[in-house]
Amino acid sequence: MQIFPFIVVVWIVGIGLYGMVTSRHLVHQIICLIVVQSSTYVLLLGVGYVTGGAAPYFFDIPLHTRAVDPVVQALALTDVVVEAAVTALLLSFAIQAHKRFGTLDPQELASLRG
């Protein structure tokens, strides 16, 4: 239990990268990028966890209860929302690529010249 979440993180990164490297469709590649991004949220929250700690909200628990780290939660939560918008931008690039080159295969797109 000491490092098990971090092993799950490296597994998710590895399988997501494998999907990106061997992909034949741009939208599939973008979905694998979403999976790789999700591993960073798990990593952030795993680093800040305190055994036996409560959520850092003190409106119904007494003020000096042991709580988990709030800073990594703040980072992860803005992360989730912002990376969704960046994914939408990537999808619009995929639409543009399909319009210009007629194909969505990244291995064919790599060999096209403007």
Partner 1 sequence: MTPPVRRWVFLVGAAGLAAFYLFGLSGLPGFGHYPGPYGFILNRVAVPQTNATGVVSAVNFEYRGFDTVGEEFILFAAVAGMAVVLRHLRGEHEGRQPLDEASDRDLPPTSDAARMVALLFTGPIVLIGWWLVSHAQASPSGGFQGGVVIATGFVLLYLSGEFRVFHRLGPADVAAAVEAVGAGGFVGTGLAAVAMNLPYLKNFLPLGTVPGAVSSSGTIALISFFVGLEVAAAFILVVGELLKQTLLVRGKKR
Partner 2 sequence: MMATATAFAPATGLMDALQVTLLLLVAAGATAVVLVRERVTQVLVLSAYGLLLALLFLAFQAPDVTLSELTVGSVLLPAVILLTLAKVRKREE
Tell me which residues touch partner 1 (CB under 8 A). 1-7, 10, 14, 17-18, 21-22, 46-51, 55-59, 63-64, 67-75, 77-82, 84-86, 88-89, 91-93, 95-96, 99, 107
Query: Taking a C-beta distance cutoff of 8 angstroms, is the pair 112, 98 a contact?
Result: no
Q: What is the total count of residues that contact partner 2 (CB under 8 A)?
A: 53
Residue whose C-alpha is closest to residue 41's, from 82, 1, 9, 88: 9
Binding of partner 2 at residue 109 (CB under 8 A)?
Answer: no
For residue 53 the two structure tokens come to 């700690």
For residue 74 the two structure tokens come to 């703040």
Residue 18 to residues 23, 36, 79, 91, 95, Cα–Cα distance (Å): 8, 10, 23, 20, 23
**Collapsed DSSP state (helix, strand, coil) of residue 22:** coil
12 binds, among partner 2, partner 1, none (CB under 5 to 8 A by kind): partner 2
- Applying CB under 8 A, the residues found at the interface with partner 2 are 1, 4-5, 8, 11-12, 15-16, 18-19, 25, 27-28, 30-32, 34-35, 38-39, 41-42, 45-46, 49, 51-55, 57, 60-61, 65-68, 73-74, 76-77, 80-81, 84, 87-88, 91-92, 94-95, 98-99, 104
